[in-house]
Structure 1
């Protein structure tokens, strides 16, 4: 069986044909795959005569192709051994999209950055074995709720993820709790009396995001201090000029 595909909008001037994971659960479990098998699924990539990139689970016939690994190590929370206190921050990707989401939804930039880093390590095409997709690892129902038509479009994904974070933040107030809800779902948080569910993965996720949040926040404060210092220095120089 071939993975369902759909034409996406042009990205950076190129038209891509990517895997459509709108029915991810059906794709994984309807094929009789467990999550470990799904995590190791081979994806074949080839480019047609029009320059459109195609992805398929079936080996292309009579065409050159590359085999891709769609696993997302960052998407596996409790199995990941990254040192989150020292891993390099990622501050040069999707900044315009993040800033737009900050302006639109009023969610703190450091929080969005931390969630993206924790969820996908800024891999726009990341897909978890559970079916979460894109930079902020949105599940299909969340995508539908926040009008994310293409989860692999950075702007849509970040806007949807930021809107969801805003909703959770307003609902639970406490960072530990709304991050737990982002990871395990609101139903799980409500089931455990609005506390962090006793799941090792969720506990590790909250720890991870909070570490990254504090680091991104400190980095932003440092950049702001440098920027303000330059403004003050420039102002003094201008005043001292004859």
Structure 2
């Protein structure tokens, strides 16, 4: 089974990993750091597709794709251990949400591109990978995580007149 991620060209079909082995780890970390399980699952889905052995071309590792230096800072000794990776990733996500209060897209952009990039650009950096990542996580967060009959909420990205990137479930004028 797979799920869809919205793109400019339409929808991209991505493989769906098995969340069942990590439900306890996700719940424990989400409760400890006061984050919704669904948000943590959305980040993991976007980062690694629930593959605990995932390694990015830039060297990020594990379920929540922690860079080795970030993992070390967070006290994660083995990024491929699901419990340690989720604990470290959720702790990091919590710190970014606290750093960018009431602005989940900025926190997600910082998780992907780094805090400095979000501060430098005073918002989501103009990196296509980061912009796509934020859209994907918000999409997964609004979509049913474990199947279900409810269609996912489509998330639209627009640019306000002042250059601010806005994410919304309301279609821009002139688009279906």
Given that residues 55 and 65 in structure 2 are in contact (C-alpha distance below 8 angstroms), is that contact kept between their aligned partners in structure 1? yes
User: Which of 193, 199, 210 is matched with 2:138 structurally?
Assistant: 210
Partner of 1:166: 94
Deviation for aligned residue 1:218: 9.0
Partner of 1:125: 53
Matched, 1:189 2:140: no
The TM-score normalised by the length of structure 2 is 0.72
Larger radius of gyration: 1
Partner of 2:13: 83
Deviation for aligned residue 1:216: 3.8
Alignment coverage as a number of residue pairs: 138
In the TM superposition, structure 1's runs of 4+ consecutive aligned residues that sit over 2 Å from their partners are 81-84, 87-91, 216-220
User: After superposition, where does 1:97-136 map in structure 2 within 5 Å?
Assistant: 97-136=25-64
User: Which of 69, 74, 77 is matched with 1:141 structurally?
Assistant: 69
Given that residues 90 and 117 in structure 1 are in contact (C-alpha distance below 8 angstroms), is that contact kept between their aligned partners in structure 2? no
Deviation for aligned residue 1:83: 3.2
Provide structure 2 residue ranges, at least 5 long, that are not aligned to the other structure.
1-10, 151-176
Across the aligned residues of Structure 1 and Structure 2, the Cα RMSD in angstroms comes to 2.1
Partner of 1:176: 105
The TM-score normalised by the length of structure 1 is 0.53
